[in-house]
């Protein structure tokens, strides 16, 4: 699915120099290295502020709480996402309200959001779209709905660093956004790391307090926060990688185009056996994953595995059917598009250094299965 060693080999000396620089400084937490990373990442996303933290999950929690989401509030989000999208809402004291996805992109469907808002109670607070697989949700439509209903928009941009919507970067499309730098992400650390982005100085200031036990100054605490500080080693590695990100994302886009060309040329898409997800007009997709919908998905995945091809299912169980969210009262059938997607989606190997002959082997093996 992902060969991290190929990318590391190309920047090994830069990474080791950066780690040595931090070790020599003997400053490991919230250092000048972290401040420099935050300034550079804010510039990358086209916002005023970035706040580094310990993980993408914590970045979601920080974005929600710093933006004022709390007990009694409702946050509309997708049932077809990684667990952290909804769990962070619960951690903030609010209630996740799920809305079905667009069957062509699997992002939050604006029409479904609008319908849901006609029946919700008055305690609703925010919309949390997820930029799934590296493609931004339809943020023009979502922003319009939010304005009409006086809701704030917070982005789950964990999979979308470098993606844009109508020329505006993910991370700058809402009141605040959350990013993950987990080792599998397009911009990755050597462990867990995350960041919040915003152009609202009050949100940034509160997020900085919340990540540091709720206080601006040591031993003085304005509220109950968390220990979610970005360490200097991860900041240094991310600073090495950031200048390479545009080229890496462009390489992913070219690999995606190759997959689509090969799948169409094989006749698989015409026969309806395999269907790539749609890229919307105005979307600059950075392909954190290349995902298709496949007939007989589980049998296909087993066949590919037998032939040395790793794949992944993002995501096998929609969030509304997870055991820990049973208290929300959802049932099978409530979100048919998310539930259907969970039985069909398959992520194929995707990373910037993937070779075309490897992609050809993947598609040929898929064709062999269906033949």
The total number of structural domains that make up the chain: 2
Q: Say whether both 225 and 302 belong to one domain.
A: no
What's the mean pLDDT in 49-75? Answer: 97
Where among 190, 217, 243 does a domain terminate?
Answer: 243
Domain stops at, among 217, 243, 269: 243
195 and 53 fall within a common domain? yes
- In this structure, the answer to whether residues 166 and 29 fall within a common structural domain is yes
Lowest model confidence (mean pLDDT) among 65-69, 86-90, 214-218, 363-367: 214-218
Distance CA(339)–CA(275), nearest Å, equals 17
What would the pLDDT profile of 300-345 be if each residue is shown by its tens digit?
Answer: 999 999 999 999 999 999 999 999 999 999 999 999 999 999 999 9
Q: What's the pLDDT score for residue 122? A: 67
320 with 338, same domain? yes
Using an 8 Å Cβ cutoff, are 348 and 259 in contact?
yes
| Same domain? 317 vs 337 | yes
Contacts of residue 245, defined as CB under 8 A and 6 or more positions apart, other chains included, come to 44, 161, 162, 186, 187
Q: Which two tokens stand for residue 193?
A: 């790391």
* CATH value at residue 359: 3.90.1150.10
Q: What is the pLDDT of residues 208-248, one digit of tens each?
A: 999 999 999 989 999 999 999 999 999 999 999 999 999 99
**With the C-alpha atoms ordered 218, 88, 60, 57, is the resulting torsion angle positive or negative?**
positive
Give φ, ψ of 319 to 5 degrees: -65, -35
* CB-based contact 58:228 (threshold 8 Å): yes
Of the candidate ranges 43-52, 112-121, 140-149, 165-174, the one whose mean pLDDT is the lowest: 112-121
Domain-ending residue, one of 212, 243, 274: 243
Please, which residues bridge with residue 169 across strands? 164
User: What is the Cα–Cα distance from 46 to 335, expressed in whole angstroms?
Assistant: 35
What's the confidence (pLDDT) of residue 119? 86
Write phi, then psi, for 284 (nearest 5 degrees).
-100, 95
pLDDT tens track for 92-143: 999 999 999 999 999 999 999 999 998 876 678 999 999 999 999 999 999 9
State the CATH number of the domain containing residue 26: 3.40.640.10
* Residue-level length of the chain: 371
Two structure tokens written together for 175: 């009141």
Q: How confident is the model at residue 295 (pLDDT cuts 50, 70, 90)?
A: very high
| The predicted structure's pLDDT at residue 228 | 97
Taking 80 as the threshold, does the pLDDT of residue 163 lie above it? Answer: yes
Tell me: do 221 and 254 sit in the same domain: no
The answer on 280 and 297 residing in a single domain is: yes
Range of the domain at 228: 4-243
User: What does the pLDDT look like over 270-288, one tens digit per residue?
Assistant: 999 999 999 999 999 999 9
Alpha carbon 247 to its chain centroid, in Å, reads 19
| Residue 43, pLDDT above cutoff 80 | yes
Q: Tell me the DSSP string of 166-187.
A: TTEETTSSSSEEEEE--TTSSS
**Average pLDDT over the chain, rounded to whole?**
97
Q: How much is the pLDDT for 323?
A: 98
Q: Are residues 151 and 25 in the same domain?
A: yes
């Amino acid at each position: 699915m992902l060969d991290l060693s190929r990318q590391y080999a190309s920047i090994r000396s830069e990474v080791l120099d950066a780690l040595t620089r931090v070790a020599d400084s003997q400053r490991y937490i919230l250092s000048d290295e972290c401040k420099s990373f935050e300034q550079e990442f804010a510039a990358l996303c086209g916002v005023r502020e970035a706040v580094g933290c310990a993980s993408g999950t914590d970045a979601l929690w920080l974005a929600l709480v710093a933006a004022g989401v709390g007990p009694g509030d409702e946050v509309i989000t997708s049932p077809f996402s990684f667990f952290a999208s909804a769990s962070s809402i619960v951690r903030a004291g609010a209630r996740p309200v799920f809305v079905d996805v667009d069957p062509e992109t699997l992002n939050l469907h604006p029409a479904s959001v609008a319908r849901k808002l006609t029946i919700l109670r008055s305690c609703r607070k925010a919309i949390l779209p997820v930029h799934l697989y590296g493609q931004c949700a339809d943020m023009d439509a979502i922003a319009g709905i939010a304005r009409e209903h006086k809701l704030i928009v917070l982005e789950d941009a964990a999979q979308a660093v470098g993606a844009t919507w109508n020329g505006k970067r993910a991370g700058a499309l809402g009141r605040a956004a959350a990013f993950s730098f987990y080792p599998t992400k397009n911009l990755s650390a050597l462990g867990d790391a995350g960041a919040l982005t915003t152009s609202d100085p009050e949100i940034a200031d509160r997020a900085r307090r919340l990540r540091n036990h709720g206080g601006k100054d040591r031993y003085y605490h304005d509220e109950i926060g968390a220990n979610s500080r970005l360490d200097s080693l991860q900041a240094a590695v991310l600073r090495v990688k950031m200048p390479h990100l545009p080229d890496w994302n462009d390489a992913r886009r070219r690999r995606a185009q190759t997959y689509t060309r090969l799948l169409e040329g094989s006749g698989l898409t015409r026969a309806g056996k395999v269907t790539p997800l749609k890229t919307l007009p105005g979307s600059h997709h950075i392909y954190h994953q290349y995902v298709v919908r496949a007939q007989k998905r589980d049998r296909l995945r087993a066949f590919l595995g037998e032939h040395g091809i790793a794949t992944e299912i993002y995501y096998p169980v929609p969030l509304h059917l997870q055991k820990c969210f049973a208290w929300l009262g959802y049932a099978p059938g409530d979100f048919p598009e998310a539930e259907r997607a969970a039985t069909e989606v398959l992520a194929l190997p995707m990373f910037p250094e993937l070779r075309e002959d490897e992609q050809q082997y993947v598609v040929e093996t898929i064709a062999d299965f269906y033949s």
